[in-house]
Amino acid sequence: MDKIEEAKIILKNLGLPPAQQNDISALTLLALCGIKENDLWKNVKIHSVTVTKGIMYFVSENYHRDYKPNTRETFRRQVLHQFEQAHIIDYNPDDPKLPTNSPNAHYALTEDAFAAIRTFNTNQWERAAKEFIKKHGSLEEIYQKKKMGSIIPVILPSGVETYLSPGKHNEVQAAIIHDFIPRFAPGSDVLYLGDTTKKSLIIDENKLADLNIPITEHDKLPDIIVYDDHEKILYFFEAVTSHGPMTPKRVLELEDMLKNCSVKKVYVTAFPNFAEFRKNIADIAWETDVWVVEVPDHIIHYNGRRHL
């Protein structure tokens, strides 16, 4: 196995996230360690290096990878910053008082990283890596916990728990599940739930097919589809934080898509607050409904015979 691949294994075992288990990260580690292709890992050394004349020069001379001068910031922002957070390196260990933009900014392995890395390819490596993680934590796990801390948990009417990615749009979607359904469509099932980063988070393909709702073109589906089997009513929701209410054009598109679906249909635009609602008043189609998260007990009916 070549040194670049070995360096990737070291980074993974020391808890670096997947984004720092690539070639540029592996080459950076090799430069920091002063390890050439034919060197043994036990010969790793602690020495301070700058980005251009240290890391990039070492990589070019010893691994024949030439990075353009404008990639200095890539090394800093996508590799070295994370190495520092993971306690792999110290920043300016020779002169901690250097200003941030100093041309003499430099990096060096920490004592703990040095002690662990030098055991790679020996029977002490696994224990050394675990001790490093135990002392400093895994940056991958830290990032994951931070991400999990901002995601939006959603409990479907069926009791199934899922998660939506962070964002105001998904906060409105969660409110539809938690607040609208229990009030206005109790006992209904969520047949489709999209996500801003993953379009089809929840999709009941069998039930949608039974109702003759085509699912081949996900981009045409609304944000949420809910079905009340007892009342035989389908609810189609658009959650709006910046665009996308149930406009006349949107309703016509949905009606065309649902031409073979015979059950009653209700089209609902959900807004987080009245300020967002007011921005879209002129665009909302008649014969549809509006629900505002900040007043969850009420629905605004854009009039029609079915409401009289």
Note the pLDDT tens digit of each residue in 143-166. 877 666 667 888 888 888 888 888
The bridge status of strand 189-193 relative to strand 289-292 is unpaired
Per-residue pLDDT tens over the stretch 236-264: 999 998 677 999 999 999 999 999 999 99
Is residue 76 predicted with pLDDT exceeding 60?
yes
Distance (Å, whole) CA 33 – CA 214: 57
- Per-residue confidence (pLDDT) for residue 11, from 0 to 100: 97
Tell me which residue has tokens 């209700």: 266
Q: What's the rounded Cα separation, in Å, for the pair 137 and 213?
A: 48
The two three-digit tokens of residue 181, written as one number: 């359904």
User: Can you list the domains of the chain with their CATH numbers?
Assistant: 3-146 (1.10.10.1820), 152-307 (3.40.1350.80)
Percent of the chain exceeding pLDDT 90 equals 72
